[in-house]
Structure 1
């Protein structure tokens, strides 16, 4: 089987192209796609417990810790003890963090609008149904649950 005939080749190449595109847009604003995904997963009003962010976006806790430190240094987020659970820390967006989050959301929405202008709704429905089946195969093949959303808009 040639690599062009494998499902994973097409998924990986499409994701790399999307990631490059998102990183190009983010770089123009002075951040990265990964930081954008973290920002999207932080509640703009109530903050988000630090322990809830990594599982939402499929990051290792150590990687998220480093990224949050960088984000704090860039003035995008700040930490405060959780008012309910004093052992926990909540991550809040600064005004600049909220601005970068809006840029991230806008970029994702614009890309999806462009896709929807080119691909008919019926084809997208088939695409989503196909990916649900692929995710089922992944879940069964790996024996672990990997169908958590990367972000919620």
Structure 2
């Protein structure tokens, strides 16, 4: 059996998680993106639209679609930023706060089930590996094209 590449394992796992969350969210007329946005918006003070995108790791066009859908569903309202009138603060409505709690419960259940089946030591290693991968990517240490030379890799895909 061929060894799976690290990126394959990450991608396949994330796709399975996303599919699971989307299936669960669809029971409530939502999506995983909406659930994640609900959890990312401060339930008391809201969040500026410019801060929400980077916090969620979403591209502006995807975020705009998600926020429009959330507004249409009555989950959020946009208000002028009192500090900077050019900006917008996104606030949760009463319904948005209720759906936020539902999203929180869903995420916590996922975490609980995983924690019941995976030791804390393995979870710590998983988090450590993920941090290393994110660090290598953010520091551009994987595809360093400085001086036209790509960093050599020690393994090859078979």
TM-score tier (shorter): 0.7 to 0.9
Provide structure 1 residue ranges, at least 5 long, that are not aligned to the other structure: 144-153
Return the alpha-carbon distance in structure 2 between the equivalents of residues 58 and 129 of structure 1.
20
- 2:58 aligns with 59
- 2:101 aligns with 102
Q: How does 1:25-104 map to 2 (within 5 A)?
A: 25-104=24-103
Return the alpha-carbon distance in structure 1 between the equivalents of residues 142 and 34 of structure 2.
30
Instruction: Select between 128-137 and 102-111 the one with higher mean Cα deviation.
Output: 128-137
Determine if the alignment matches structure 1 residue 141 to structure 2 residue 142: yes
Return the alpha-carbon distance in structure 1 between the equivalents of residues 143 and 28 of structure 2.
37
- CA deviations 1:55-76 (Å, max 9, x no partner) are 1111111221222111111101
Return the alpha-carbon distance in structure 1 between the equivalents of residues 66 and 119 of structure 2.
38
**Alignment RMSD (CA, Å):** 1.6
* Rg comparison, structure with higher value: 2
- 1:123 aligns with 122
Return the alpha-carbon distance in structure 2 between the equivalents of residues 136 and 71 of structure 1.
33
- CA deviations 1:99-147 (Å, max 9, x no partner) are 111111111111011111001111111111111222222222367xxxx
> Larger relative CO (CA 8 A, sep 6+): 1 or 2?
1
Return the alpha-carbon distance in structure 1 between the equivalents of residues 83 and 118 of structure 2.
47
Return the alpha-carbon distance in structure 2 between the equivalents of residues 15 and 48 of structure 1.
26
Give 4+ residue runs of structure 1 displaced > 3 Å after superposition: none
Provide structure 2 residue ranges, at least 5 long, that are not aligned to the other structure: 145-158
Task: Using structure 1 for the length normalisation, give the TM-score.
Answer: 0.86
Return the alpha-carbon distance in structure 1 between the equivalents of residues 132 and 68 of structure 2.
37
